[in-house]
Amino acid sequence: MKKIVLLMLAFAGFAFAAGNGGEDMIKAYSVVAAGIGLGLAALGGAIGMGNTAAATIAGTARNPGLGGKLMTTMFIAIALVEAQVIYTLVIALIALYANPFLG
């Protein structure tokens, strides 16, 4: 991980020293950042949804009478987890198409 960070910092010098103001390198970094960000958000969302579903199934197995309430709570929790992933998607799209780093 340290090697990747040092490599990105090394390339930052080339980005700012480029003849066109480094716009191409900033665009490339934006694509990489969007891909990594979306990947991490999807991974975290999948783990959160899996844990939520597992806890709901375990709770329903212990007390079947509470299945409806647990299912409702699970859907609310999954919606909140999915909202975080959608927020990441919005930020990634802003970084790709309306890049604030390009002046």
Length of the chain: 103
CB 14 within 8 A of CB 21: no
Whole-prediction pTM value? Answer: 0.72
What does the pLDDT look like over 89-103, one tens digit per residue?
999 898 888 877 776
CATH architecture observed for domain 40-103: Up-down Bundle (1.20)
Enclosing H/E stretch for 35:
helix 23-62
Residues in contact with 95: Cβ distance below 8 Å, sequence separation at least 6, in sequence order: 30, 33, 34, 101
81 — pLDDT class (breaks 50, 70, 90)? very high
What does the pLDDT look like over 24-77, one tens digit per residue?
778 888 888 888 999 999 999 999 999 999 999 999 999 999 999 999 999 999
Cα(75)–Cα(49) distance, integer angstroms: 10
Cα(28)–Cα(37) distance, integer angstroms: 14
Largest CA distance in the chain: 69
